[in-house]
Each structure stands twice: as C-alpha cells, then as structure tokens.
A and B are shown apart, each in its own frame.
Chain A
Amino acid sequence: DTAVSQTPKYLVTQMGNDKSIKCEQNLGHDTMYWYKQDSKKFLKIMFSYNNKELIINETVPNRFSPKSPDKAHLNLHINSLELGDSAVYFCASSQEWGRDGYTFGSGTRLTVV
C-alpha cells in the first residue's frame, strides 16, 4: 500500500489554465503539506495544514490554494498557470510533532507551456 499517493505523476498544460493535483495519505497522520522543488532542486514549503490551521508560506501566490475535504486528503488547486509554475510538487504528511519524519509522495512534475 502506498503511504502518500499523489496524482497525476506528470502534468503538461498551457499557460492560463487551471489545474488540480490530488494527494491522499493512509498513515493516519495529523498534518499534510505541499512542497515545490524547482529546477535547481531546492525544496520549499508552500502550505501546511491540520484540522486546526492552515499555514501559508507568504511567498506563495494566491493563485495556489489547498483544499482538504478530510484529514486524509490535501489537494492543490492552481489558477491561471504561468511558465514559472513549472516544477515538481510534492505532497507530504506527518504526525504533529512527530520524530519519525515527514513521508513524501512520489511527486507531480508540472510543465507549463
């Protein structure tokens, strides 16, 4: 069983489109995250969310919005895609204050053309 699964694995789309990436975890973790890894392989947090609060990295454009239908899911919706949004997006989950690390999904490679 995959612990953190995200779909799609690859996404190619045109500028200006709206797209969503789905993420699900079956680990029973309290908190989920979205990270962006750019072309230089720098991994940067975008959002963290548990049932109490959403923490948004202030550098993330408001075209990006997380949506959580329940504790096991945190989807990422992106409006009006731009060329600079091309990157690999990783979903992750963890127990609150856990010492067992954050478990990452396999990533979604987004290419905006």
Chain B
Amino acid sequence: GQNIDQPTEMTATEGAIVQINCTYQTSGFNGLFWYQQHAGEAPTFLSYNVLDGLEEKGRFSSFLSRSKGYSYLLLKELQMKDSASYLCAVRSYSGGGADGLTFGKGTHLIIQP
C-alpha cells in the first residue's frame, strides 16, 4: 500500500517563507505532485517532481529525494491568498497507464498579516 504524511496545519506570516514537508512510502514510484485547494474549490496543480532535486516555478518550489521518500513545497513572499490546503500526492506505476494519484490528508496553511 501507500502511505503519505504531511503536517495537518501550519501558520506563517505574510511576506515570509514557509516549507511544507511530505514523506511517503510507496512501491513503483512514478512522480510526486503538489496541489493547492481553497475551501469549496477544486484542487489546482502546482508542481511535479519525478527526479531528485528542486523544481522552481515563480514563488513556489518543490524538492524531491526519492531515496528518503521525502518532498517539500516551499512558498516564498507569502500572500494572504496563499491561505489554503496544500496536498501532496504520489503516482505509482501499476503497468497499465491509468494510474491515479494517492493524496496525503493535506496541510492547512494559515497566513497571518
């Protein structure tokens, strides 16, 4: 089976930097995704890592270490609109191609002025 852990809730200050960690255990790893979800809305895609290292995309960066089963999402220059849940999700290869994502329970990020 798969197991994905991330903190339940984090608080940060507007303008600061926050790092949201995610650890996972899976077989047939084939990529790790980060999603943002505002209350009452659909999850929206933020980043994808399949090889070790850092992927940067504007204010958001994501890091992956496959040997450690570890990823983090780094958010810089925090804005009030970044208050949302951040979901870590893993894709595992089953051989068929129609593989969905297994999600962690999400980290609720609260941004304070």
Give the interface of A toward B (CB within 8 A).
Answer: 30-31, 33, 35, 40-45, 47-50, 52-55, 90, 92, 96-97, 99-107
Contacts and interface: CB of A to CB of B under 8 A. Distances in A.
B91 to A, nearest CB: 9
Contacts, number: 71
Interface stretch (B13-21, B63-71, B72-80, B95-103): B95-103
Interface in B24-53: 30-31, 33, 35, 37, 41-45, 48, 50
A106 B96 contact: no
B42 A106 contact: yes
Given A90-B43, A104-B44, A53 B96 contact: yes
Given A99-B50, A103-B45, A41 B85 contact: yes
Interface residues on B, range: 20 to 34
15 contacts: A30-B97, A31-B97, A41-B37, A42-B105, A43-B87, A43-B103, A45-B102, A48-B100, A52-B98, A55-B98, A55-B99, A90-B43, A96-B97, A102-B100, A107-B42
Nearest to B47: A101
Given A40-B105, A41-B85, A97-B30, A52 B97 contact: yes
